[in-house]
Amino acid sequence: MLIAGNWKMFKGPAETAEFCLGLRDEDLEGVDVVVCPPFVSLAVAVQLLAGTEIAVAAQSVHWEDEGAYTGEISARMLRELGVYGTIVGHSERRQYFGETDETVGKRVHAALEAGLFVIACVGETEHEREDNRTEDVLRRQLSVLEPDDNLVLAYEPVWAIGTGKTATPEIAQEAHAFVKSQVEVPVLYGGSVKPDNAAELLAQADVDGALVGGASLELDSFTAICRAAIRS
């Protein structure tokens, strides 16, 4: 089981330090834990979690090593910092920053080549689900990805992100089974995962962990979800 906390655009270096100091005192044996702070907070997270089993990952990465790409960060730079992995293709990047299946594919490929662990995100919008297009959308998003030992996927239905509307365990299981039929790697569920719904989601056969947004920002709720994973 893998529990990853996607902090999105929350926590600068000071708040990151406070969180990591608390996290390293927790006993989380039995679950793989990853935190994904904003770029500016990666260094302090790497420093404070060094020597623990908790990994630090970025939220995106560019596909070139260096170049004229204002605002971007390369896999080589992340590696230099001691960062373990990165999220790629989060729906917020697709929705607000023009991320496409093609750029997701390029970012994932470059990150894996550079030796980073990758959490690649897929998921349909509410409209696409209502139109019965969920499988078509997932198939298209997954068409740019190939299995790799350092790749996991996150199924994050867009309608469940930050809305408090969680996919039912049945919906999650069905989507995860479909995702695995396309690209056979572990699949995390993301979308309003909270301490009180984590256990039933994680109990599904093809749910291999969670990518947690809002509930990963507080130590108590994040570690409660990690403990639900340990028990499942």
Binding site for ligand 13P (CB under 6 A): 6, 90, 156, 161-162, 190-193, 211-215
Residue 205 is classified by DSSP as: T
Closest CB to ligand 13P among residues 201, 212: 212
Closest distance of CB 90 from ligand 13P, Å = 6
Closest distance of CB 210 from ligand 13P, Å = 8
Closest distance of CB 120 from ligand 13P, Å = 12
Q: Return the amino acid letter for 23.
A: L
Half-sphere exposure of 58 (CA within 13 A, CB side): 26
Residue 70 is classified by DSSP as: T
Closest distance of CB 66 from ligand 13P, Å = 28
Report, as residue numbers or ranges, the catalytic residues: 90, 156
Q: What end-to-end distance do the CA atoms of the chain give, in Å? A: 9
Closest CB to ligand 13P among residues 193, 207: 193
Closest CB to ligand 13P among residues 64, 155: 155
Closest CB to ligand 13P among residues 2, 215: 215
182 neighbors 138 (Cβ within 8 angstroms): yes
Within 8 A by CB and 6+ apart from 110, the residues are 61, 62, 63, 64, 74, 75
3-state secondary structure of 228: helix
Q: How many Å is the Cα radius of gyration of the chain?
A: 16
* Residue with smallest beta-carbon separation from ligand 13P: 213
